[in-house]
Amino acid sequence: MSAYQLLQLMSQVLFVFITLVVTFRTVRRPLKTNVDTVLLFATIALIVAISWVDQVLGLNPGRVVSAATSSLLMALPYMLVRLVDDFTAPRRAIPRTAAVGLAAAVVSLWVLAPPYPGILVLLCVLYFVGFTCYVAGAFVKAARRSSGVTQRRMQAVAAGSLFLGTVILLAGISAATPSLSNGEGVVMTILGLLSGLFFFLGFAPPVWLRRAWQEPEVRAFLDRAASLPRMPDREAIVHELEQGAASSLGASNAVIGLWDAESGFMQYNLSRIPRELLPDQMIAGRAFITQEPVFSDNAERDDPEHAEVYRRSGARAILAAPISSGEKRLGVLAIYAAHSPIFADDDLLLVSLLANQAAVILESRALIDEAARVKALEEAARLKDDFLSAAAHDLKTPLTTMVAQAQLLERRARRNPTEPPNLEGIEALVKESLRLKRLVLELLDVARVEQGKLVNHREPVDLVELAREACARHSTTLHRYMLDAPGRLVEKYDSMRIMQLIDNLLENAAKYSPAGGDVCVRIRQDGASALLTVMDPGIGIPAADLLLLFDRFHRGSNVDDRRFSGMGLGLFICRGIVEQHGGSIWATSTGIGQGSTFHVVLPASGPINLASRQNPSSIDVEQTG
């Protein structure tokens, strides 16, 4: 036996072995795709068997044998087109055209006697090569739309189709030549062997190979798993889990239903299915109820009640596994595809593994959320204590003064009712009453900030005029306010709140500049924004406090509470005013003792800038206090 004959025999034995393997699988799982795969390899095995009979009996192929062998060979493209229909969605005309072409070829081969006319051979070769190329192209397109194991299977089938088409093309070329050399025969034998192997790997891959093809996607999924619990919210986590599970199985999509014990519904986040379903509804619900993985190769048949939902979602084959943590039921993972050959029975093990991993991730997120909730409660309790302490301290001072002054006035009035009123005492009482009123209003404003209701009616207001009035009102012999601004800058603002903003910033500048000095207030327009800055020569702000300065109750670490009274609400309210106007506010400082600068940006989409009413661009506002 020559090397060429040995190679031929090995190739033929391999095809027979593959036929037996796929037949055994089909008996266990008689799906349409498995049947079509058996027909493909059984056709090749039958051609091999006919050649073996001829060799054993030492017969020359007669007309019947030649017609039968050629007819079986011409059936291969049609078998492949049927498999395309199982894995993708070809145009309906393609299978019909393939069937008509096969029927015409078979009739011609049986009517005409060998040697066949050249035109018939040419048409048969064109039919064979054309449809195998179509099959290869269809599976290449399917591979591009797929991922993971499905993509690799489609690529294998495409390669097998090209090899098979090349074999027939070489056979047609050889038929037009006087003789076939052993070299050409070896090439055709090797290509045919490769074609069969690739078909086997694509249509009926062994379990170990499916696992090897799935490993990169599963490994990538598991590598990302550690970071998933830290994602912004649970919906983002579920979305990543769905994508990772679909990619690991090479499926078109996946969906996770989360069990809500309070409502008694399974919660889904997919537009093509109801957002809330009873736990026993649909195939995924069966996996949740039984706490066992479920595989359906035809969802519409197995769950006709929801057939329209499956059609709309493109879910023909479904793998589902429960997501559970011990005895605690969290939900269900369902992976689906438009074609049943995408999945295999042994994929249930992988789906269960992914579901268990999803349970770990979701439980980790629940623990993180619980820890955050506890921390938030602790922070709220701390803020409450800080608030009560600061409020008690700040409210106590004016209340003490008011009570003492009122008691003093009462005693004087009782001792001598005709004595003239103590104007100084009354003024002190009014002053402390106004101080108390301001503190109470601050507390009310904090509530409005948190509700987003601090800013109300807006009307055209001159920002420069408001700043000028505030500077004149707050200027003293110790603190002089320097206003650098254009003549006017008019925009629609809540005038009361903008005035409150400016007052707070100016009071803040004077308060934390105990040694006195000039406070510079500057207003500018920059495109669609109005810029307001207040710069003081005071105690400065440590770098660590700059980002926290506008938080509720926060005060700089260099602020002495006994020297600088306050609850840490003024800048928090300023931020609320600015942000509810659509602007932003921040502070800068070069360090302790180096002063501070507060920057405010307010929207000014259509400001009216009129000519300055004064020639100087810098206005010195000074008032003796």
CA 266 vs CA 127, 211, 276: distances in Å: 53, 31, 6
Taking alpha carbons only, the member of 312, 315, 256, 262 closest to residue 288 is 256
Dump pLDDT digits (tens) for 205-240.
888 888 888 888 888 888 888 788 888 888 888 888
- Its CATH class, for the domain covering 3-205, is mainly alpha
Query: For residue 229, is the peptide bond before it cis, meaning its omega torsion is within 30 degrees of 0?
Result: no
CATH topology of domain 213-369: Beta-Lactamase (3.30.450)
Paired strand residues for 332: 257, 322
Q: CA-to-CA distance for 146 and 23, rounded, in angstroms?
A: 27
Which numeric CATH code is attached to 459-621?
3.30.565.10
Cα distance between the two ends of the chain:
121
What's the pLDDT score for residue 608?
43
CA dihedral 407, 409, 413, 414 (to 10 degrees): 20
Q: Of 453 and 608, which is predicted with more confidence? A: 453
The ranges assigned to domains in the chain are: 3-205, 213-369, 373-451, 459-621
**Per-residue pLDDT reduced to its tens digit, 492-551:** 899 888 998 999 899 889 888 888 889 999 999 888 899 999 999 988 988 888 888 888
Convert the pLDDT of each residue in 375-409 to its tens digit: 877 877 776 666 666 666 666 667 777 777 777 77
Residue 182's pLDDT band (cuts 50, 70, 90): low
The confidence score (pLDDT) of residue 619 equals 43
Candidate CATH numbers 1.20.1250.20, 3.40.50.620, 3.40.30.10, 1.10.287.130; the one for domain 373-451? 1.10.287.130
Per residue, what are the HEC states of 281-328? CHHHHHHHHHCCCEEECCHHHHCHHHHHHHHHHCCCEEEEEEEEECCE
Cα 583–Cα 555–Cα 594 angle in degrees, nearest 5: 85
Residue 536 in tokens: 């003081």
Question: What's the token pair of residue 223?
Answer: 């590598």
Residue 389 has a pLDDT of 61
